[in-house]
Each structure stands twice: as structure tokens, then as C-alpha cells.
Amino acid sequence: MKFKKIFNDQRVVLTLLTIALFIFFGLRNSAFFNVDFVIYPLLRDGATLTVIGLAQLCVLSIGHLNLAVGRMAAVSALVAGASYQYWGLTLVQGAILGVLAGALLGAITGWIIVKSQVNAFIVTLAMDFALLGLVTFIYVTFTGATAAFTTKPAGMDYWRSKSLADFCLGPICGPKALPMMLVPAIFCLILVSFMFSKTRLGRELLSTGSNLRAAKLSGIPVENRVMTAHIFSGTLAGIGGLMLAYTNGSFTAAIGSQVMLPSFLGPVLGGTLLAGGAVAVLGTFIGTMMTLVIRQGLSVQGIGLETLNIALGLVLLLALSVGQIQKMFTSIKLRGKK
Amino acid sequence: MKKSLLAAVAAVALLLSGCSSSGDSAGSADGFGAIKVALVPGGAHPYFQPWKDGGAAAVAEFGVGGTEFNETGEWDQTKHNAAIDAMAAQGYNAFGVFGVSPTDINTTFAGLKAKGFAVGSLASCPGGYDIVKEPQKNSADFCLSTDTGKAAYLAATAVIKEMGGKGNLVHLTGNAVDANTIRRMDGVKQAIAETGGKVKLLTTITDIDSDLQSATKAVTDLLAAKGKQINGIVTTAYNPAVAATDGVSSTKLPIKVIAIDDDQKILDAIKSGVISGTVVQNPWGQGYVGSWVLSALGSKKCTMNTPGLYVDSGSFLVTKDNVDTYNDTRQATSKEILAAFQNEYMTCK
């Protein structure tokens, strides 16, 4: 009975599926267990995409979408990159400025949605286009042929290349497979998880997503909560943008241009509802890692581009259907008992 | 419930912390046979396909251990890095790479070099500085690429000559925030400036090289709106070149076109006189020469005299006169570049 309950939790199923896939790919080709070239970069990319997934999750909690999540990440990276290049700010100072820029963009988006009463899909889509133009314009105008801010503040390479093995408490050091990039991701996971599970604000956000009218009638300031969700989304997108820039090595207009779909994939695979009202914070990490394991696993097998995408699509479809398949089996069993 | 979830997560953590590197990084090779060259463009694009043949020719001619072409980067630096890592995990120990982001790729190169691999920047050099003046800033061992500014200048000069040295010119090209595109735009502007105002740059259309559909739409719109004002089109990206060839062919407008690269459609259009010519680059030579140089470096038989050196892989104007023979010229040039590496740019044991 207890086992049944455990396996009804989508996160447990996804975790087991991810582990199974990890072992499967490793048994097929032992190169997949290589720490330096597979596990470490996999976790580093997973950390960044998880934070961007959390940015999407915050607005999904109120039943909204943020199609500009990647571009908000790009603006944060741009602000941080400019602050390093032109004002000589330290890594942390520039990062704070970048994240604040993301939060500001989130606030503007939320404010437009609240005041105009236009669907979040339309507003964030328009925001995406506007920011694309702005980011491109700024890079071309200020950096010319380089089209990037290339100044690296002290400590930037540390976040890209170091692992917890370089982080020691006395004689005990962390494992080499765990990148330093996991630290901000874990910090964000704990913070977002705490907010949704332990605070009134989190419950109000979920209530707003679950039933807007009911939330309004219960006295929840829903307009404020819409703003709050978008500010959180912009802030986390900003952190994700900085993580992308630190990982890749410079601040370019291309940052965040490919993260919009993955930002949905992690939360939705993890169990977050697109309609709002339910979120899966840890599930976002697990869902993100699963897609990365599949992709890199197939890549290490030497599978070509077309086959890789077909296989990725099929496995994801299967993973997303796990819940439905479970329900189907349960209803068949119940019918059998009757 | 929460306990079971934590247990599952802990199991993953245990698995990860227990893992150790299964492969060593770069192999200390005795000869070319021990070198496996990974040729990794930023994503799928017809331009890079000749890398395969160039690499295969190096395997057959020089006994390189093998070459593998991987185009799963999907034009995203993160995915591109993952594709490179996957090749490294599989035992490839020399890398010829086209970076998605010229300013990011140096970081990737530095990472590969730190593991002891031979690394070449092919078809594009790292950006953010002048590689000719400061080759030491290139974290790869060398860069073998088209001088994009020079190729664009060559193409623009050719089309201006076809236009009779006067009129309105349009430039069709790729990603506006790519340093190579900006160099191409500068090359075209330089050729126009040399006409002393007789040729005017009507417009430059950027960001139409992602796919043929976008390029075709842009060209159709352009010809519908301004077709009669245009005297010449110079294209410095693959998809706009094919689209411009199709557009001029179907509208029969008296526009002179100099395209880029050697798609069969472009070559046929040159032969039939629809377009004036094309500027071809040398991806075959990049694969061929690049694989030899990487093997020589990886096997420790040779070292670069100037680490990070930039070498032009060549660009060639193809017109009706040499459309059947240009490939021989290109292969001969590749052999000359290889000889220059062997005798001039490298010191070999």
C-alpha cells in the first residue's frame, strides 16, 4: 500500500526513470560515466536550466506564461556585462545589478498585465520581441564588431570550472562531479520551495492560479500577486542569465535565446500545472535533469541530429504519459474488482 | 512520502559522488594513427558538409586515426559545448571546432587545452580582439578560416564591376550580432567607398541565414518593393545567396548578383547566366588541412611557431569562365596552405 503511494508521486517516478536512463546509457557506453566530460557539464547545465525553469514555474503558479524568460535572462547578462566592462564592478556587484534588472523587467511585465488586463501570453510575447530588439541594438551600438561584453571579472571562471572538490572544510572536500554552479541553483530551489510550501505569499500565489475569482473573493490581493509572480520570474530569469554567461564565458545577445521551451519542460515534466495552482519545485530539477540525461546519453552513443531529436521527443512523450498510464492501469484494476 | 523522495535523490547523489573519470583526457599519441579528430560545427548547415570529405581525405592520405563530424550543437553554445564534451568522452583527442559564439568559444578552447587536447578553430576565429595582431589571445592552437571581410570585399568589387561601376547595391547577409557578419558588412562598405559615391548601398538585410524560407521571404519582399531600383545584389551568407539566385531568376529583373558558396543551384545559375558569379570559401580545405595540423599537434610531432596563429583558408571568385575548374584551384590552394603549415607556421621533429 505504502509502495503504491510512493509510486503515485510523479517526482519519484521521474527520479527513478532518470536514474534508470543514466545507468542504461552508462551500460551501453561507459564513456557516459566520465566525470569530466559528461557528469560535471550535465549537472552544470542542469543547474542553469533549473533556475530558468523556476523562473517559468513562478508565473505558471498563477496560471500565466512568461515567453520572455530567455530575453529577461539576456538583459540581466547585458547589464552585468556592461557593468564589468565599463564601470569595473566586481563579480558580485555586477551580478546584483543584473538580477535587479531582471526583477525590474518582471515588475514592468506584471504591471502591464495588471493594468491592461491583456493576456500574459500576449504581453510576454510582445516583451520578448521588444527586448530582442533592445538587446541587439545595445550590443551592436556599444561593442561594434565584437557584439559582446568580454571583460571577465575576477572569480567568473571559478563558477564555470570549479567543483565542490575545490571547496573544502578542513580535510573534507566535496565530490568532483558536483559543479559550483549547483550552489546558486540549490539556493534558488530551497528559497522557491520554502516560499510555496511554508509562506502565506506562496499559498496566495497558488490560490490565485487555482481560481482567480475565488482568490479575489477570499481577500487575496490578486493584482499584487500577479506582479509578485512576474517579479520572481524576472529575478530568477536574471540569475539564470548570469549563470549562462558565466558558463559560456562572455555576455552576448544570444544568451537565453534557446531557453524558452526548456523553461517549460522542466516544471511541466516535474508536475507543475500549466493552468496554475500547483507547482513542483524539486520536480523542476528532476525534469530538467531527465531531459539533459536523455540528450547527452543519446549524444554519447553517437546518434545523429535527426535521430537524436526523434528519440528525445519519444522518450519525453513517454515520460509525460507516465501519469496517464498509471491512471489507466488503476482504472482497469478497479473495473476488474467490480 | 517526503522520506522516499529524499531517499531517491540521495541515491542519485551517491551515484554521482561515487563516479570517477573513466577515461583519461588527451592521449599521448605516438603517431597520427592514435589521433581521433572531432570536427564539430556549431550546428547543421550545408557549408560544413565538405568538412567530412576533407577529414576523410586526411585519414586516407596521412593515416590519421579517424575523423568524426558532429553537427548536434543546434547553434546554441551550451548544446555545442555538450556535443564537444560527448566527443571527448568517446575518446576523441583533437578538436576542429566552429564556435557558435565567437566570444564564448575561447573559453571552450581553453577548457579543452587544459585537458591536453589539440584544438583548432575552423571556419571562424574567436572574437573580441584582432586575431592577426594578438594571436596569443586565441586559446586554440590555430585558426583556419575565411577572411570574411576580404571575401565580402572580393564579392562586392565583382558585383560593382558587373554593374558598370555605378548604381544601387543591396547586401544580404546573416546574423547581425555575429562579428563575422560585421566584418562582411565592413568589406562591402569598403568596396562601395572606393567608387567615390557612384555606387549607393540601398539597404543591408541581416538575420536571414537561419533557413531558406526566411531568406526567400526577405528576397521576395525586397524585389517586390524595390526591384526596379536595384542594380546589384551581393550576398555574403548561404541561404540569402540561394534565395537571391531564385528571386532574380524568377522575376527576370536585370539585377547583377554575386552569391556566396557553391550550392548546385548557384552553380547552375552561373552557367545559365542568371547570376554573374559567386565567391566560394574553402570548407573542404579546412577539414583536410585542419585534420593534418591537429594530428601533427596531437601526436606531438609538430608545434606551432606562433600559438593561436590565424591563417586564411582562402576565398575564390567563380564566374562562367572558371565554374568547371574552380574546385581544382581550391584543392591546389589547400595543398599550398598545408605546405605553409609544414614549412612555415610549424616546427616539426
For the segment B252-298, what is each residue's pLDDT rounded down to a tens digit?
899 999 999 888 888 999 999 889 999 999 999 999 999 999 999 99
Q: What percent of chain A has pLDDT over 70?
A: 93
Nearest Cα residue in chain A from B68:
A302
List domains and CATH numbers for chain B.
31-146+283-315+325-348 (3.40.50.2300), 148-280 (3.40.50.2300)
Q: What percent of chain A has pLDDT over 90?
A: 67
For the segment A311-321, what is each residue's pLDDT rounded down to a tens digit?
778 877 877 77
Question: Which residues does chain A have within 8 Å of residue B117's beta carbon, measured at their own beta carbons?
Answer: none
DSSP, collapsed to helix, strand or coil, labels residue B235 as strand
Question: Which residues does chain B have within 8 Å of residue A244's beta carbon, measured at their own beta carbons?
Answer: 78
Bridge partners of A40, per DSSP, are none
For the segment B43-55, what is each residue's pLDDT rounded down to a tens digit?
988 889 999 999 9
Say which CATH topology domain A2-323 has: ABC transporter involved in vitamin B12 uptake, BtuC (1.10.3470)
Assess A84–B contact: CB distance below 8 Å, yes or no.
no
Write down the ipTM of this complex: 0.84
Nearest Cα residue in chain A from B1:
A6
Q: Where are the domains of chain A?
A: 2-323
Q: Is the pTM of this model over 0.90?
A: no
Question: Which residues does chain B have within 8 Å of residue A302's beta carbon, measured at their own beta carbons?
Answer: 68, 90
- Residue A4 binned pLDDT confidence (cut-offs 50, 70, 90): low
Assess A253–B contact: CB distance below 8 Å, yes or no.
yes
Question: Which residues does chain B have within 8 Å of residue A37's beta carbon, measured at their own beta carbons?
Answer: 23, 85-86, 88-89
Assess A78–B contact: CB distance below 8 Å, yes or no.
no
For the segment B75-116, what is each residue's pLDDT rounded down to a tens digit?
899 999 999 999 999 999 999 999 988 889 999 999 999 999
Nearest Cα residue in chain B from A20:
B12
Nearest Cα residue in chain B from A308:
B72
For B171, which DSSP code? Answer: E
Write down the pLDDT at residue A169.
83
Question: Which residues does chain B have within 8 Å of residue A45's beta carbon, measured at their own beta carbons?
Answer: 78, 82
Assess A14–B contact: CB distance below 8 Å, yes or no.
no
